[in-house]
Chain A
């Protein structure tokens, strides 16, 4: 494992504080974008970025590069964000964290009726962000990590602590739902 970020993390592990600054510069913005899509509250997302990098800082001495740095980082960020969603009195109904149930949902028929969430998205005239927000958290997370951050299915599975088969289904469902929402927006 020899990507630049891993090298920086190893340098930080060995006492180079500037390497931590460099990692923050490189990744804080991307982590912020990612957790914002999960929790959908800017202030909470900023706290989660802090929490993510604080966990990186705490883990420095036991860091072992077993995966790409980005996979490790987004795993930490995703866990922090999911913990936030599990807190009592927060999270809308669609932020379902019944993970097994969500992964096991049957594939929606491609030509079937749009889900209530997507109908809502169309009705309110919201754009992609809104349609994304209507997706279950796991679908959002999986698609974002694949489409925006370029993680492989295996890496997404690692980050979401699930199987590659589940990741495949989560990503495809999310993509189809967003494509359908885009089509609805186009007609409106």
Chain B
């Protein structure tokens, strides 16, 4: 048997022969028993290799790998946070922002609508009579905390007016 023909048997075995060449070789195998026997010998090599015993991966190997990773991960984690770290940070930031928005928008409303104190008492104003000048509590101020600053400014103006009134009286 020529080395070239034997090499073709290897290619056939590995599925690396072109379809036409493979068909021609299979036809030849039917006519030449010694060729078929050689193919079987080569095939047996592969089969025997696959059937070689395999031993279990020792537990110490896994433990050793875990230890090596742990040693590397420590300094690496300090120097360069994992790709996932920024995502976690962003998620945390988004959560905090959402909580802040909730506090800005919903809580003051709830405070006024649901708190017995808020329902029982009007918004604190320095004194009766100036309440008309001060912004009265309404059902609208969903941006309540954002409007706290103007309220304080108005109260300051009222205090100054009060002082003027006292002075002129």
Contacts and interface: CB of A to CB of B under 8 A. Distances in A.
Could you say which interface size class chain B belongs to? 35 or more
A178 interface: yes
A178 to B, nearest CB: 5
Interface stretch (B60-68, B133-141, B146-154, B160-168): B60-68
Nearest to B58: A46
Contacts of B84: 14-15
Contacts, number: 96
A176 interface: yes
Interface in A129-188: 129, 132, 143-144, 146-148, 152-153, 168, 171-172, 175-176, 178-179, 182-183
B41 A168 contact: no
B54 A172 contact: no
Contacts of B50: 147-148
A117 B44 CA distance: 20
Interface residues of A, number: 38
Residue with the greatest number of chain A CB neighbours at <10 A, chosen from B46, B64, B65, B72: B65
Contact of A24 (B3, B41, B62, B82): B62
B68 A171 contact: no
A61 B77 CA distance: 13
Contact of A179 (B41, B52, B61, B68): B41
B82 A175 contact: no
Nearest to A151: B14
Interface stretch (B4-12, B97-105, B124-132): B4-12
B69 A46 contact: no
A50 interface: yes
Contacts of B58: 46
A28 interface: yes
Given A29-B54, A110-B1, A179-B42, A171 B14 contact: yes
Interface of B: 1-3, 6-7, 10-11, 13-14, 16, 41-42, 44-46, 48-50, 52, 54-58, 60-62, 64-65, 68-69, 72, 82-84
Give me the 3 closest cross-chain CB pairs, A-B, nearest first. Answer: A15-B84, A147-B46, A172-B10
